[in-house]
Amino acid sequence: MNREVRDQVAAVEGPGEREVGQERRAAASPWWARALRYVVRDRPELVLAPLALVLLVYLWDVVTRTGLVAPVLLPSPQAVARALRVLLTAPWFPGNLWTTVLETISGFLIAALLAVAVAVLMDQIRLIRRVGYPYVVVLQVMPSVVLAPIFIVWFGFGISSKIVVAVSTAFFVILVNTLSGLASVPENSRLLMRSMCASRRQMFFKLTLPTALPYVFAAFKTAATLSLIGALVGEFITARSGLGRLLTQFSFALRQDMMFATVLVVGALGIALYGLVAFLEKKVIWWR
Amino acid sequence: MARSIMTTESAGGTEAATGRIDLQEVDKVFTPRRGSVAIEALRSISLDVRPGEFVSLVGPSGCGKSTLLKMIAGLLEPSSGRIAVDGVPVEQPRRSVGMMFQTPELFPWRTVLKNVLLPIEIFRHEREFHRKRALELLEMVGLEGFQSALPRELSGGMQQRVALCRVLVSDPSVVLMDEPFGALDEFARERLNVELLRIWEDARKTIVFVTHNINEAVFLSDRVVVMGTSPGRVLEVVDVPLGRGRPRTQQMMREPAFTDCVFEVRGMLGL
């Protein structure tokens, strides 16, 4: 709540009804002491969470250094860092990265468009809902990556078969969430709109769609990651290019250090895609 | 208290020309599923509400008061009987009848002002004029300066005031209120009741007000319709003897006529 509004609320409600002034005495101590006290008392995770990562990498280093695990199985952090530098500077790397990015984003966008369209149709037209719902229920519990080998046969070894796999992995989570979002309109809101003689169109654009948007974007965030998984699985099976193909190649070559480096890149890509969708979500659902 | 023949004309204010509601022998039977037992929600309801009258429906849960309200709004069809507003049979919702619920039902993605203007948008009425009117209404309920706030920034009482402005902005002749202040605490509720009376005395709309609260019903209304359950039906219609000398004030709650009336209604409900 912004401050101005809060003050006005207090003015209308009178004192005491809301947010009793809980002002602490102005601290006389310097800013760094206050910051330190704040972190220790209220937000210890700000320090402890990064510390856990440092500790983990240190343990990893110790394990590889003492020879508890053979370097072929677990490369040292330093080896992975070197491999990462090799990977990122290799001339063939951008092309492989781009293939996976392109497959993931195309797959996500196609899945998003299709799933939202199907959900809206199912929500608006009762016959379609009744016919389609059993299939949605059955298909959403099926792990759709098992379809990947079939899609490779149908759509070839190129990029299009991976896009289809990505679409099929991302589609259902969006469909199911959008359906429940569209169905989550409060009964009284619907009655209110009806009492104002709202048309079907007005009902949809002024009430149903905005109500469903938070559900849709929650699904988009999951679907972005699922689309990446779909693209990678497709590439595992067979591909000419892509991060998934790099992984299988490094695996055959027993280059654990390069595999770890590639995994780090895939992880960063996943986080970036998720962050992008989360950013869009904040822009679109601004009222939250 | 029997219905007095002397009370057909309300003393204060101008009599509104529109907003008459006629219910004749209205029944409502719900059949949840084919083959299941039918539930008789309302039996043989007959009631005339005069233009500009404030009528409350009181009764225990399940007496069908909300159902009755929804039928007047055109949101539900009666199983038999006739409902008319200003002589026109009610077949579907209409613009001259506004409705308010227990929950404010403000849309969180709209500012306070845009929430108030929702009916205007839906009716495709002229915006600029109604914007001014909306701001006046907000000022009248003590929310000046809040037009750009979001609903989640307001307390429950303030949200319900916004909902009140929203139902009034298109100037309907009938306002149907389904326990509008039932979810609020006692203080907010009393303040809103006083404000509602003030607004009603200014604008003289027909108000049908559903509540569980007998004090509230008697304090606000010209007439109180006392309802009973299984099946939902009208037990009695009580004329409130207070304030043919309106405006009504909270001091009147101490008058013997007020308490007598409250106890009369309580008696009818078996309390």
pTM for this prediction: 0.81
Domains of chain B: 19-96+172-268 (3.40.50.300)
pLDDT of residue A108: 97
ipTM of this complex: 0.85
- Mind telling me how many Å the CA of B45 is from chain A's nearest CA? 22
Nearest to B75 among A8, A195, A285 (CB): A195
Q: Quick one: which of B107, B117, B119, B110 has its CA closest to B148?
A: B110
Close Cβ partners of A233 (under 8 Å, ≥ 6 residues apart): A145, A148, A165, A169, A244
- Mind telling me how many Å the CA of A180 is from chain B's nearest CA? 18
pLDDT bracket for residue A8 (50, 70, 90): low
pLDDT of residue B199: 85
Is A197 within 8 Å of B95 when comparing Cβ atoms? yes
Q: How far apart are CA A204 and CA B99, in angstroms?
A: 20
Q: How far apart are CA B218 and CA B204, in angstroms?
A: 18
pLDDT digits over A245-280, tens only?
999 999 999 899 999 999 999 999 999 999 999 999
- Mind telling me how many Å the CA of A260 is from chain B's nearest CA? 45
Those of residues 246-265 in B touching chain A at CB distance below 8 A are: none
pLDDT at residue A7 greater than cutoff 80: no
- Least confident range from A16-30, A71-85, A196-210, B69-83: namely A16-30
Q: Which CATH architecture fits A88-284?
A: Orthogonal Bundle (1.10)
Out of A7-16, A116-125, B64-73, B216-225, the most confident range is A116-125
Contacting residues of A for B143, CB less than 8 Å apart:
12
pLDDT at residue A14 greater than cutoff 60: no
- Chain A CB within 8 Å of residue B185 CB: no
Contacting residues of A for B97, CB less than 8 Å apart:
195
Decide if B188 contacts B199 (C-beta within 8 A).
Answer: no
Contacting residues of B for A10, CB less than 8 Å apart:
none
Is A5 within 8 Å of B118 when comparing Cβ atoms? no
State the DSSP string of chain B. Answer: -PPPGGGSS-SSSPPPSS--EEEEEEEEEE--STTSPPEEEEEEEEEEE-TT-EEEEE--TTSSHHHHHHHHHTSS--SEEEEEETTEE--S--TTEEEE-SS----TTS-HHHHHTHHHHHHT--HHHHHHHHHHHHHHTT-TT-TTS-GGGS-HHHHHHHHHHHHHTT--SEEEEESTTTTS-HHHHHHHHHHHHHHHHHH--EEEEEES-HHHHHHH-SEEEEEETTTBEEEEEEE--TTSSPSP-GGGGGSHHHHHHHHHHHHHTT-
Q: Quick one: which of A241, A259, A246 has its CA closest to A83?
A: A259
pLDDT of residue A280: 95
CA B16 to chain centroid, in Å, comes to 16
> Residues for chain A: how many in total?
288
Contacting residues of A for B92, CB less than 8 Å apart:
197
- Mind telling me how many Å the CA of B94 is from chain A's nearest CA? 6
Half-sphere exposure of B251 (CA within 13 A, CB side): 2
pLDDT at residue A18 greater than cutoff 50: no
- Least confident range from A72-86, A130-144, B25-39, B185-199: namely B25-39
pLDDT at residue B253 greater than cutoff 90: no
Nearest to A8 among B70, B74, B146 (CB): B146
Nearest to B101 among A2, A188, A202 (CB): A188
Q: How far apart are CA B71 and CA B83, in angstroms?
A: 8
DSSP state of A181: H
Distances in Å between the Cα of A109 and the Cα atoms of A102, A136, A171, B70, B142 are 11, 20, 10, 43, 47
pLDDT digits over A200-234, tens only?
999 999 999 999 999 999 999 999 999 999 999 99
- Mind telling me how many Å the CA of A285 is from chain B's nearest CA? 8
Is A5 within 8 Å of B92 when comparing Cβ atoms? no
Decide if B209 contacts B69 (C-beta within 8 A).
Answer: no
Is B93 within 8 Å of A192 when comparing Cβ atoms? no
pLDDT of residue A5: 59
| pLDDT > 70 fraction of chain B, expressed in percent and rounded | 93
Nearest to B119 among A12, A194, A196 (CB): A196
Sequence-ordered alpha helix ranges (H) in chain A: 3-13, 31-41, 45-65, 77-89, 93-124, 126-141, 148-155, 159-182, 187-195, 200-203, 209-237, 243-252, 256-284
Mean pLDDT confidence for A71-93? 91
Q: Decide the pairing of beta strands B206-211 and B54-58.
A: parallel
Close Cβ partners of A83 (under 8 Å, ≥ 6 residues apart): A75, A255, A257, A258, A260, A261
pLDDT at residue B36 greater than cutoff 80: no
Q: How far apart are CA B262 and CA B90, in angstroms?
A: 33
Q: How far apart are CA A76 and CA A260, in angstroms?
A: 10
pLDDT of residue B124: 86
Contacting residues of B for A193, CB less than 8 Å apart:
122
Contacting residues of B for A186, CB less than 8 Å apart:
103, 105
Half-sphere exposure of B71 (CA within 13 A, CB side): 27
- Mind telling me how many Å the CA of A196 is from chain B's nearest CA? 6
pLDDT of residue A235: 93
Nearest to B122 among A12, A189, A202 (CB): A202
pLDDT at residue A153 greater than cutoff 70: yes
Count of other CB atoms within 10 angstroms of residue B110: 19
pLDDT of residue A26: 52
Strand, helix or coil for residue A215: helix
Is B107 within 8 Å of A18 when comparing Cβ atoms? no
Out of B35-39, B92-96, B197-201, the most confident range is B92-96
State the DSSP string of A3-50. Answer: HHHHHHHHHHH-TTSSS---PPPPP-S-HHHHHHHHHHHT-THHHHHH
Close Cβ partners of B84 (under 8 Å, ≥ 6 residues apart): B21, B22, B90
Is B122 within 8 Å of A9 when comparing Cβ atoms? no
Q: How far apart are CA B250 and CA B225, in angstroms?
A: 21
**If you count residue pairs, one on A and one on B, with CB atoms under 8 Å apart, how many are there?**
76
The domain spans of chain A are 21-69, 88-284
Smallest CA–CA distance from A199 into chain B, residue: B122
| Mean pLDDT of chain B, nearest integer | 83
Q: Decide the pairing of beta strands B88-89 and B80-85.
A: antiparallel
pLDDT at residue B13 greater than cutoff 50: no
pLDDT at residue B140 greater than cutoff 80: yes
- Chain B CB within 8 Å of residue A12 CB: yes
pLDDT digits over B230-243, tens only?
888 888 888 887 76
Distances in Å between the Cα of B233 and the Cα atoms of A43, B91, B228, B271 are 60, 22, 5, 17
> Residues for chain B: how many in total?
271
pLDDT of residue A121: 95
pLDDT at residue A187 greater than cutoff 70: yes
| Mean pLDDT of chain A, nearest integer | 88
